[in-house]
């Protein structure tokens, strides 16, 4: 399991999450930030930092964001 960044990040890219991640597993792509699921330790620190509520635990991603679990994996090269 991991945390996942979903659609509201696109166009926002606030980056507050990046600053709080203790293992530096949040990376920047062209459109959005993403979380490497193999590196995330599920600490939850990033979730409340996002001003557009784009970060969810994998088990709590809303239906409209489900495809982003795979997208975060793909962007991580996994």
* Contact footprint for ligand SF4 (CB under 6 A): 3, 20-21, 23, 25-26, 35, 40-46
> Quick one: which of 49, 48, 70, 76 has its CA closest to 6?
70
Least CB distance to ligand SF4 at residue 67 (A): 19
Nearer to ligand SF4, 20 or 60 (CB): 20
Q: Which distant-in-sequence residues (6+ apart) come within 8 Å of 37 by Cβ?
A: 2, 4, 58, 72, 73, 76, 78
Kindly state the smallest distance separating residue 54's Cβ from ligand SF4, in Å.
12
Q: Which lies closer to ligand SF4 via its Cβ, residue 43 or residue 60? A: 43
């Amino acid at each position: 399991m991991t945390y996942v960044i979903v659609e509201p990040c696109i166009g926002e890219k606030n980056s507050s999450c990046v600053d709080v991640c203790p293992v530096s597993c949040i990376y920047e792509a062209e459109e959005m930030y993403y979380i490497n699921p193999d590196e995330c330790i599920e600490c939850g620190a990033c979730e409340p930092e996002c001003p557009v509520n784009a970060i969810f635990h994998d088990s709590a991603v809303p239906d409209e964001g489900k495809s982003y679990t795979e997208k975060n994996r793909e962007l991580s090269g996994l």
